[in-house]
Amino acid sequence: MTETKYGRAHLIAGGFPPGSMAGHDHDYARLRLLGLLTERDVPASVANDFADVEKRLPVSRLLISYVAGPYPDAAQCRAIERWLEAGGHWLGLRGTSGGRAERVEGARQRRTVKTEHHALLGSRFLTHPPICKIRVDVSPADHPLTRGLGASFVRCRSANRGARKPARITAPP
């Protein structure tokens, strides 16, 4: 195997139940993300869920998750937490902050059950808010992750629906 400057990545892209697209094109996302990793000479392993994450992380520097349903169980969360504490990095996309949903008595909607992985992420998906425009303020503008975005921009997308005040993109130090 060729050594790379960036190490390996492990990509998890899938829906629930296993094999389901769960309303999202995971194949497109998987291929696109693998293409971006390939452009940077980052070798990657791929999975549809978190089942073998404990085996894949020790040889990876980056975990990318693009999911609609799968989430790590308690043992998998402990493995991810140890790996993060040892210097691993996790890019959680799409439904990573979602998880198991339960029915609410007297309501048509379900609610996400808070699990160990929400504490690990530091966030939790609640629900899809109504569609509206959102202004995003970007800072710092000179960081590699935010360079070229401009000071602010306006979006009306499903991922940004419902915000009532400007959002901020703040790059890590």
**Contacts of residue 47, Cβ cutoff 8 Å, sequence gap at least 6:** 10, 11, 12, 14, 53, 56
Q: Is the pLDDT of residue 8 over 90?
A: yes
| Residue from 14, 123, 94, 11 nearest 57 by CA | 11
Q: For residues 89 and 37, is the Cβ–Cβ distance under 8 A? A: no
pLDDT, position 162: 39
Q: Is the pLDDT of residue 22 over 80?
A: no
Q: Is the pLDDT of residue 14 over 60?
A: yes
Please give the average per-residue pLDDT across 128-151, as a whole number: 80
Q: Write the pLDDT tens digit of every residue in 40-50.
A: 999 999 999 99
CATH code of 39's domain: 3.40.50.880
Residues 63, 104 within the same domain: yes
> Which domain does 46 fall in, by range?
9-121
Residues 95, 148 within the same domain: no
Q: Is the pLDDT of residue 5 over 70?
A: no
Between 92 and 133, residue with greater pLDDT: 92
Mean pLDDT of all residues belonging to the chain: 83
Looking up tokens 């939790």 gives 124
Cβ count within 10 A of residue 80: 23
Residues 81, 155 within the same domain: no
First vs last C-alpha separation in the chain: 32
Distance CA 110, CA 125 (A): 12
| Residue 22 in domain | yes
Q: Specify which residues 10 forms β-bridges with.
A: 45, 63
pLDDT, position 163: 41
Residues 108, 29 within the same domain: yes
Residues 109, 30 within the same domain: yes
